[in-house]
């Protein structure tokens, strides 16, 4: 389905169940949630493609993180959904936090997965360099290094199918559009760090101990700023734990949502 703003989406699950929105990361599509949605079958699940991703229309000019939050608000309006829980992965975790700041009355809960906080100068320089690479040569310039950051050595050696699928998702991005979205990931973090007023929705913050770009220290910082937030650090996994080891991610997300969405 595609809404009047050009956003591609899928809405499944019981009509009367609490709504859970799944927000994917940079360079991916709503298909990345294929491993989680079966474990959330009791909820009304909304997945969609961010601006400039998958089947959704490209942006006009340089989009902002607030534009991505507004995209979700417009989609919820189109579907007559007043309130929802948000599960955001990576860039999607930034979108979820921006949405919770801009539309607190519409946010019932947050699960922030593998998402960034303020970076060190060295880390910021590294991501800016990747944006510059993408601007020059498109997603092909960064995808192999991304696979190294996203998956463990064991997964890259044994799961060629998963590597091929992930590579296919990233390489499908428009080379002219991809860097504009990458720039949001690089430069939008300050918007959602130390939010004022603080986010008050029940929140789960999750990352993995080998996800160095979205590190345990970052997740601790995010959780510290949100009252009563829960923190989960997965062992022996990297950025794409949701695809490499789905049960490790699905279990805490499902248990959290089941508890808070009564």
**Three-state secondary structure string covering 182-227:** HHHHHHCHHHHCCCCCCCCCCEEEEEECCCHHHCHHHHHHHHHCCC
211 and 237 Cβ atoms separated by less than 8 Å: yes
Which segments within 200-258 are labelled E, that is strand?
Answer: 203-208, 230-234
Q: What is the CA radius of gyration of the chain?
A: 17
CB atoms within 10 A of CB 176: 11
Sign of the C-alpha dihedral computed for residues 29, 89, 188 and 98 taken in this order: positive
Is 8 a residue whose pLDDT tops 90? yes
Q: For residue 248, with 0-12 CB atoms within 10 Å meaning exposed, 13-18 middle and 19 or more buried, which class applies?
A: middle
Terminal alpha carbon distance of the chain: 28
What angle, 0 to 180 degrees and rounded to 10, lies between the N-to-C axes of helices 160-171 and 143-150?
130
Tokens 């699950």 belong to residue:
13
Has domain 9-118+190-260 been given CATH number 3.40.50.1820?
yes
Mean pLDDT of 166-182: 96
Coil, helix or strand for 226? coil
Distances (CA, A) of 174 to 33, 139, 184: 21, 8, 16
pLDDT at 163: 98
The residues pairing with 203 across neighbouring beta strands, listed in sequence order, are 110
pLDDT at 197: 87
Residue 135: both structure tokens together: 């601007």
> pLDDT for 216-260, tens place per residue?
999 999 999 999 999 999 999 999 999 999 999 999 999 999 999
Q: For residue 54, with 0-12 CB atoms within 10 Å meaning exposed, 13-18 middle and 19 or more buried, which class applies?
A: buried
Residue 32: both structure tokens together: 């990345």
Mean pLDDT of 12-18: 97
> pLDDT for 58-110, tens place per residue?
999 999 999 999 999 999 999 999 999 999 999 999 999 999 999 999 999 99
Give residue limits of the domains in the chain.
Answer: 9-118+190-260
Mean pLDDT of the chain: 96
Give CA–CA dist 115/105, Å, rounded: 23
Coil, helix or strand for 21? strand
- Which pTM was predicted? 0.97
């Amino acid at each position: 389905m595609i809404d009047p703003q050009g956003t591609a989406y899928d809405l499944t699950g019981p009509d009367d169940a609490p709504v859970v929105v799944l927000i994917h990361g940079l360079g991916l599509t709503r298909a990345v949630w294929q491993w989680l949605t079966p474990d959330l079958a009791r909820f009304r699940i909304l997945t969609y493609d961010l601006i400039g991703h998958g089947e959704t229309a490209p942006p006009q000019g340089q989009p902002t993180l607030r534009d991505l939050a507004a995209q979700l608000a417009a989609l919820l309006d189109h579907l007559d959904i007043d309130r929802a829980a948000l599960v955001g992965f990576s860039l999607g975790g930034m979108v979820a936090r921006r949405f919770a700041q801009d539309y607190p009355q519409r946010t019932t809960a947050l699960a922030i997965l593998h998402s960034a906080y303020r970076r060190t100068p060295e880390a910021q320089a590294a991501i800016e360099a990747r944006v510059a690479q993408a601007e020059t040569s498109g997603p092909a310039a960064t995808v192999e290094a991304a696979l190294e950051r996203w998956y463990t050595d064991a997964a890259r050696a044994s799961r060629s199918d998963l590597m091929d699928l992930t590579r296919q998702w990233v390489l499908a991005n428009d080379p002219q559009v991809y860097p504009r979205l990458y720039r949001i990931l690089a430069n939008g973090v300050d918007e959602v760090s130390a939010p004022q007023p603080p986010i008050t929705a029940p929140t789960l913050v999750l990352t993995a101990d080998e996800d160095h770009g979205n590190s345990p220290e970052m997740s601790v910082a995010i959780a510290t700023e949100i009252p009563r937030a829960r923190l989960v650090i997965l062992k022996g996994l990297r950025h794409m734990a949701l695809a490499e080891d789905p049960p490790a991610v699905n279990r805490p997300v499902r248990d959290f949502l089941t508890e808070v969405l009564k």
